[in-house]
Chain A
Amino acid sequence: MTLPLQERYQAGDSALHRLDPRVKVVVTLLLVLAIVLTPERAWPAYPLWWAMTGSLAILGGLNPWRLARMGGLALPFALAAATLLFTTPGEPIIAVPGLTITGAGLARFIAIALKSWLSAQAALLLAITTPFADLTWALGSLRVPGTLVAIISFMYRYLFTLKEEADRLIRARAARSGALPGQRSGGNVIWRARVAGGMVGNLFLRSYERSERVYAAMLARGYDGRMRLLYPPPLTRSAVIQGAVPVLLMILISLLAVAWWSA
């Protein structure tokens, strides 16, 4: 009985995999920004954004349809915006007894869901084509404070180790939770929550004591509070140019969306 925890990164040697991680981070953030900035009713922009994520997926050696399916992971959250269907004022278009969906509400809801789906694809592209160590390094060279980057790197390093510790705790709980068929076992919800709490406390102590051992091992190897990279790769001109192409396309689509299609 193990918990599902799978890294998104897929090893590969595509153009997107080889691109400088700093360029990928900046382009991804700009792409998400441009998608979210799209005016609600600039409908022609949305297929263009999808064409963009789709072609980037192909450049990254991914199936764009698969990426599109994966992009739906944030859609359950869209239910939070579903009330807009009924509360946004406008021309009623569908009237179920008791509820009226307005055209404006429908447009707004669809725009939010599309933006969420497209942004998720952009974020997925970054995670799928960039090893996490490269990603944290890129964050550091993009002026994210070094301490925070080091904490994030350590977290990633021990994420799967501690996930397996949690697996062991859960397996142990399952092993001692035998019950006769048709008979209730264990206590009520509060009791169960306290058991989970004990497991969390247990996991905390295991993590805390592991960090002490890790720190001692690092000290023994000459750790002085700083993290170093041996050879930070230089930012090449071709990487900047490769990053500039999608950014120029984004600016074009955004300008068209704001100036023309939203009018």
Chain B
Amino acid sequence: MFVPFLAMHIPDGFLSVPVAVLGWLLVIALVGFALRKTRGTLDDRQIPLMGILAAFVFAAQMINFPVAGGTSGHLLGGALVAILLGPWAAVLVMTAVIAVQGLLFQDGGLLAMGFNIVNMGIVSTFVGYAAYRWVHRTLGGTPRAQIAGAAVGAWLGVGIAALATAVELAVSGTSPLGIVLPAMLGVHAIIGIGEALITVGALAFIRQTRPDLIQAPARADAKGAGWIAVGLLIALLVVLISPLADPNPDGLERVAEDHGFAELAQDPSYEILPDYTVPFLENEALTTIAAGVIGVAVVAGISYGVARATGRRPDSAASDRASHTL
């Protein structure tokens, strides 16, 4: 990770209890649904396959490459696994990865594990997969479009997961949204580039060696629209629901009410952030949503641009689009 303190594994203590409980409820519902979906589509080899691929994600996260100034980049893996296994199996694989990281290595907390699974196991895989399908389809379903889709999916998956993390921290009162949102998005926009490059490199290698393992999404165009809708919906839900879901006014407001707002306006501490105003209870959710929507729009807009730019190349290689699925 480039900047450890902006990493996405949230330790315990940084999420308020209502937020952490909401995360666990989301995990129980969504992972339960993923378990039901995969039971129908994968046979009994699913358990060794998904278990070993979870270990693969863990080991692959250790393969780093030097960037600059002693920092290094590495894979997070949500989008790559979703592209290779489909999003539901990817949710289970990433859930296992995050559970082991939390239980065995204390990378991420136990109470905070709910939202850690939501961010890195569900949001990043679904958004990554939806963006991959969308770009792949929009650009004509060629192998080059598939690579472009993988790049956009990997980048966007990391970005939206970072956005979700920032919103959760802000709603918990751990860090003001006006600071944590741009910080997380800025850092992960760069981390996402590394993610996109590694994902593309991995897919290119697998396509050369075992083309039968790469699913051919162009075949199922009718279902593609559904995935795009699901991904967009998740991105919007992340933005809209999280701030509204917290039943308690956060500590910032409580303290603000104790001390009165007039005094705050003259408080010199605000001079470092002239645009950051203390929100009232009703406005706080709106401010959060507005900032989040802007974030999603910016990220989606840039990704669309990247997709257009990388996709407009002549395609020469005929793809081996075997319909083999895992």
Interface residues of A, Cβ cutoff 8 Å to B: 3, 5, 7-8, 28-29, 32-33, 35-37, 40, 73-74, 76-81, 83-84, 86-90, 92, 95, 98-102, 104-105, 108, 112-120, 122-124, 126-127, 132, 135, 145, 147-148, 150-159, 161-163, 165-166, 169-170, 189-190, 192-205, 207-208, 210-212, 214-215, 218, 223-225, 227
User: Which one of B59, B99, B209 contacts A152 once the chains associate, using CB atoms below 8 Å?
Assistant: B99
**CB–CB A211/B12 < 8 A:** no
* Chain B, range 1-23, C-beta contacts under 8 Å to A: 4-7, 9-17, 20
**CB–CB A86/B269 < 8 A:** yes
**CB–CB A155/B97 < 8 A:** yes
**CB–CB B63/A154 < 8 A:** no
B247 at the interface (CB under 8 A from A): no
* Chain B, range 210-235, C-beta contacts under 8 Å to A: 210, 213
**CB–CB B60/A32 < 8 A:** no
| Residue in chain A with minimal CB distance to B208 | A201
Chain B residues near A7 (CB-CB < 8 A): 104
**CB–CB B11/A120 < 8 A:** yes
Chain A residues near B79 (CB-CB < 8 A): none
**CB–CB B268/A194 < 8 A:** no
Given the complex of chains A and B, what is the CA–CA distance between A212 and B212 in angstroms?
Answer: 15
B82 at the interface (CB under 8 A from A): no
Given the complex of chains A and B, what is the CA–CA distance between A154 and B45 in angstroms?
Answer: 12
Chain A residues near B109 (CB-CB < 8 A): 32, 74, 116, 119-120, 123
**CB–CB B203/A201 < 8 A:** yes
| Residue in chain A with minimal CB distance to B203 | A201
Given the complex of chains A and B, what is the CA–CA distance between A118 and B203 in angstroms?
Answer: 42
Distance of A223 from chain B, by nearest CB (Å): 7
**CB–CB A155/B13 < 8 A:** no
**CB–CB B251/A154 < 8 A:** no
| Residue in chain A with minimal CB distance to B67 | A189
Given contacts A127-B104, A152-B100, A155-B52, contact A36 B13 (CB under 8 A): yes
**CB–CB A98/B54 < 8 A:** no
**Extra contacts besides A151-B93, A162-B59, A197-B201 (19): CB < 8 Å:** A77-B7, A80-B6, A87-B269, A98-B271, A99-B272, A151-B47, A152-B99, A155-B54, A156-B104, A159-B58, A166-B59, A169-B63, A189-B65, A196-B73, A198-B201, A198-B204, A201-B201, A203-B63, A204-B60
Chain B residues near A89 (CB-CB < 8 A): 252, 255-256, 259, 263-264, 267, 269, 278
Given contacts A3-B62, A195-B65, contact A127 B13 (CB under 8 A): no
Chain A residues near B97 (CB-CB < 8 A): 155
Given the complex of chains A and B, what is the CA–CA distance between A86 and B179 in angstroms?
Answer: 11
Closest 5 CB pairs of A and B: A197-B201, A154-B51, A201-B205, A115-B13, A119-B12
Most chain A CB inside 10 Å of its own CB: which residue of B46, B106, B175, B276: B106
* Chain B, range 162-199, C-beta contacts under 8 Å to A: 169, 173-176, 179-180, 194, 197-199
Distance of B60 from chain A, by nearest CB (Å): 5
**CB–CB A112/B269 < 8 A:** no
Distance of B136 from chain A, by nearest CB (Å): 18
Given the complex of chains A and B, what is the CA–CA distance between A159 and B217 in angstroms?
Answer: 30
Chain A residues near B160 (CB-CB < 8 A): none
User: Which one of A80, A98, A126, A145 contacts B14 once the chains associate, using CB atoms below 8 Å?
Assistant: A80
User: Which one of A40, A166, A201 contacts B204 once the chains associate, using CB atoms below 8 Å?
Assistant: A201
- What mask results when residues 66 to 80 of chain B are scored 1 for a CB within 8 Å of chain A, else 0? 111000011100001
Given contacts A89-B264, A147-B35, A192-B65, contact A203 B51 (CB under 8 A): no
Chain A residues near B205 (CB-CB < 8 A): 197-198, 200-202, 205
Chain B residues with a Cβ closer than 8 Å to the other chain, count: 99
| Residue in chain B with minimal CB distance to A150 | B47
B156 at the interface (CB under 8 A from A): no
User: Which one of A148, A192, A199 contacts B66 once the chains associate, using CB atoms below 8 Å?
Assistant: A192
| Residue in chain A with minimal CB distance to B111 | A32
Given the complex of chains A and B, what is the CA–CA distance between A99 and B271 in angstroms?
Answer: 8
**CB–CB A88/B252 < 8 A:** yes
**CB–CB B45/A158 < 8 A:** no
Given the complex of chains A and B, what is the CA–CA distance between A92 and B169 in angstroms?
Answer: 24
Chain A residues near B49 (CB-CB < 8 A): 208, 211-212, 215
Chain B residues near A33 (CB-CB < 8 A): 17, 111
| Residue in chain B with minimal CB distance to A121 | B106
Most chain A CB inside 10 Å of its own CB: which residue of B84, B194, B198: B198
Q: Return 17 A-B CB contacts under 8 Å, by A number.
A: A40-B251, A88-B252, A89-B259, A89-B269, A90-B259, A102-B267, A119-B110, A145-B32, A148-B95, A163-B59, A163-B62, A170-B63, A196-B75, A197-B199, A203-B59, A205-B209, A214-B52
**CB–CB B100/A36 < 8 A:** no
**CB–CB B96/A198 < 8 A:** no
Chain A residues near B15 (CB-CB < 8 A): 36
Chain A residues near B269 (CB-CB < 8 A): 86-87, 89, 92, 99-102, 105
User: Which one of A158, A201, A211 contacts B202 once the chains associate, using CB atoms below 8 Å?
Assistant: A201
**CB–CB B197/A190 < 8 A:** yes
Chain B residues near A163 (CB-CB < 8 A): 55, 58-59, 62
**CB–CB A158/B51 < 8 A:** yes
| Residue in chain B with minimal CB distance to A165 | B59
**CB–CB A77/B52 < 8 A:** no
| Residue in chain A with minimal CB distance to B43 | A225
